Amino acid sequence: MQDHLSKIWKGPIGLIASIAVLILLFSVLNPRFASVENLQNVLFQVSVPLIILVGTSMVILMGSIDLSAQGVMGAAGMTWILLSPNTRLEIDLGIWAWVAALGLGLLLGLATGVIYAKLRVPSFVVTLGTWYVGLGIGIILYGNGMLPSLTDEALARWPTRLTLGLPNSFWLAAFVAVAGALVMQFTHLGRGILAIGNNELIARSSGLPVSLMKVSVFGLAGLLSALAGILATMQLGSGSPDIGNGQLFTVIPAAVIGGTALSGGEGGMMRSTLGVFLLIILNNGLVLAGINPDYQSGVFGAILIVAIVAVAWPERSRLKVAK
């Protein structure tokens, strides 16, 4: 077990150091940064991208890419809110709203996987298509009516409510992330994903059910994007096809910053998780430090480059060999 744990955390020294430096720096600039309230705030903000990241990381580790998250989020979020107590429709399917929304995400993911694995269309193209199909479903559900808002107070407050001092939305994301890490470390599927990412031909010739694994991973990614869509909708209290806006630009860089190679086969769930933390903390810290909005994008980019250099420094020799 200890060996496995050390494997999970192997490598991200630079990443942890970068995050520590940022935390220190921002705490000096504004003592409120280090407050419990801000910790809860950061964990709340991390939760949605973290859930998406678990699925996306698996896809990337397999040597593919998944661009569909934002669209699937829109479709699932709209499905969920329209079947939960809301201002537009007098309907409340309770648990079935979750089943329908998650089922839709799973279906979209499985369809993507089948097209990718069986018809051999590049994942970049298929998932781009799935993004727009999902967005299209979201738009149709949104229609021309008024913005659907949650009317159930308990549901709308659930993500921010604290359990053991931390927001529920983070507990949900943490559960997904830990489950994802365990799948990667201890299951046949996890090892298969890395094998496919390393060399698909060898994986196939050694008898791995490659196509089945590919379809399963995309199905899982769709399911998790749908869960993220539901959580984001709950957090906002209102439904929108655009609920996933901008998430892709957090999730994919986070995975790469965490050391997950876009070519597949290399990296890990916990490292990607640290990548999300780095990006969210950076953004949160800049706001708390009072950086002028005119300079925020530039400062964000500059610090990010420094952080990535620090992350990659311990691994520079290996990276060099890999070009």
Partner 1 sequence: MRIFDRLLPEHNKRLKMLLASALTGGLAYIAAIAPATAATVDKKDMVMVVSVINTTNPYMISNIEGAKALSEKLEIPLEVVNSNNSSQTEISSILSILASGKKVIMFVNTVASSDAPTIVDAVKQAGGYVTIWWNKPTDYKPQSVGDNFVAFQKIPGVESGRCGAKAIGDALGGKGSVVMFPGVQDSTTSKTRVAGFKTEMKEKYPNIKILDERPSNWDPQLAARNAKDLIVKYGSQINGVWSADDGMQIGAMQSFENAGLLDKVKFASDGLYPKTLEDIKSGRGGNAIVGETFHRGYMASAVGLYTAYLAATGEVVPSTLPPEKRESLFKLSCVTPSNYQQYLQYDEPDAPKQFVERLVKNGPWNTEPMPLVGGGSNEQGEF
Structure tokens at 184: 């990667």
Sign of the dihedral through C-alpha 57, 200, 216, 71:
positive
| Least distance CB 264 / partner 1 (angstroms) | 30
- Site membership for partner 1, residue 277 (CB under 8 A): no
Question: Whole-angstrom Cα distance, residue 305 to residue 299?
Answer: 10
Pairing of strands 166-167, 162-163: antiparallel
- Site membership for partner 1, residue 232 (CB under 8 A): yes
Question: Whole-angstrom Cα distance, residue 88 to residue 255?
Answer: 38
Contacts of 116 (CB under 8 A, 6+ apart): 64, 122, 123, 126, 127, 214, 215, 218
- Site membership for partner 1, residue 228 (CB under 8 A): no
What's the farthest any 2 CA atoms get from each other in the chain?
61
Tokens 């040597």 belong to residue: 63
φ and ψ at residue 35, rounded to 5 degrees: -75, 160
| Per-position x/- string for 72-101, each x denoting binding to partner 1 as judged by CB under 8 A, each - no binding | --x------------x--------------
| Least distance CB 240 / partner 1 (angstroms) | 7
- Site membership for partner 1, residue 199 (CB under 8 A): no
- Site membership for partner 1, residue 28 (CB under 8 A): no
- Site membership for partner 1, residue 151 (CB under 8 A): no
- Site membership for partner 1, residue 149 (CB under 8 A): yes
What's the distance, Cα to Cα, between the start and end of the chain in Å?
33
| Least distance CB 247 / partner 1 (angstroms) | 9
Stretch that binds partner 1, among 4-12, 19-27, 41-49, 216-224 (CB under 8 A): 41-49
- Site membership for partner 1, residue 237 (CB under 8 A): yes
Stretch that binds partner 1, among 182-190, 271-279, 287-295, 304-312 (CB under 8 A): 287-295
- Site membership for partner 1, residue 27 (CB under 8 A): no
Q: Which is nearer to partner 1, 141 or 181 (CB)?
A: 141
What torsion do the CA atoms of 181, 126, 45, 300 make, to the nearest 10 degrees? 110
Q: Single out the residue of 187, 205, 245, 263 in contact with partner 1 (rule: CB under 8 A).
A: 245
Question: Whole-angstrom Cα distance, residue 138 to residue 222?
Answer: 15
Q: Which of 216, 231, 307, 298 is nearest to 50 (CA)?
A: 231
- Site membership for partner 1, residue 25 (CB under 8 A): no
Q: Single out the residue of 3, 90, 95, 144 in contact with partner 1 (rule: CB under 8 A).
A: 144
Distance, C-alpha 43 to centroid of its chain: 14
How many other CB atoms are found less than 10 A from the CB of residue 302?
Answer: 11
* Site of interaction with partner 1 (CB under 8 A): 30, 32, 35, 37-38, 41, 44-45, 74, 87, 135, 138-139, 142, 144, 146-147, 149, 156-157, 160, 232, 235-238, 240-243, 245-246, 284, 287-288, 290, 293-294
